[in-house]
Amino acid sequence: MFTGIIEELGEVLAWHRSGDSGRLTIKAPLAVSDAKHGDSISVDGVCLTVVDQGPDWFTADVMAVSIAMSTLSDRVVGDRVDIERAAALGDRLGGHIVQGHIDGTATLLTATEGEAWRVLRFSLDPAHAPLVVRKGSIAVNGVSLTVSDAGDDWFEVSLIPETLTATTLGTLTPGDRVNIETDIVARHIQRMLGFDTRPAAPGSTQPTEFERSES
C-alpha cells in the first residue's frame, strides 16, 4: 500500500522488453536505501516488485497487463518517473490509500496557469467516470490529488508549487498520458452495486445464485 506522497524522482536506466513482458531498471537512491528483494515500489503509480538492486538502483519485472494498461510501455532510458516506497505500519497517511493497481491511463487535455498553481484537465474513460467525484481523491502517476472538478469524460486537478516541482506532473504538456488509480472505496461500492445483496425475507424461496445460473 502507498499514500500517494512522492518521495523522489527516479530515472530510467534500462528497459528491456521480451515478448509481452519486460524488465525495468530505475535509479532511485532513496527508494533502495532500505529496500530488499521482494519489496514493493511505486513507479509512476504502478506497484512493482524489486528483483535486483544496487547502491542507487533497482530492477523490477513488468508483466503484460501492466505494460498494456500503463504508460510504462512509453518509457525510455533517461525518462524521469515518480517513486514512492510502500508505506510502513504506523506511517502518517499524508495522501490517501493508494494500491498501485491502476485503472488505466488518461491524456492531458489542457493546462491552465495561475500565479503559483496549475489546473490540469485530463480525459476520463466513461467506465471510470462513476468512480471520480468532485472533491474526491485520485492518484495520477501515483501522486495523491484532490479532484477539483469532473465531467462525464474529463476531470481536473489543481497543482500547488510543491507538486509541480517534486513530481513529473510539473513537466506535462497537452497530449501526454498518465496513469490513474481511482479511489478504492468507490471501486468497492461500484462492485457491490452490481450484485443483489438484499437479504432474503424469512420463508422466502428466493433462488440461490447456482439455481439462477441453472435455469
Cell triple for residue 4?
Answer: 500517494
Backbone angles phi and psi of 171, in degrees to 5: -105, 5
Residue 105, pLDDT > 60, answer: yes
- Pick the most confident of 45-59, 123-137, 189-203: 45-59
Mean pLDDT score across all residues of the chain: 89
Banded pLDDT at 134 (limits 50, 70, 90): very high
The predicted model scores a pTM of 0.85
More confident residue, 108 or 200: 108
* pLDDT per residue as tens digits for the range 68-89: 999 999 999 999 999 999 988 7
Q: What is the pLDDT of residue 214?
A: 47
Contact at 8 Å (CB) between 66 and 74?
no
For residue 22, give Cα distances in angstroms to 4, 63, 138, 161, 208. 25, 7, 27, 34, 44
3-state class (DSSP) for residue 191: helix
Side-chain half-sphere CA neighbours of 73 within 13 A = 15
Contact at 8 Å (CB) between 84 and 148?
no
**From 42-51, 68-77, 93-102, 152-161, the region with the lowest mean pLDDT:** 93-102
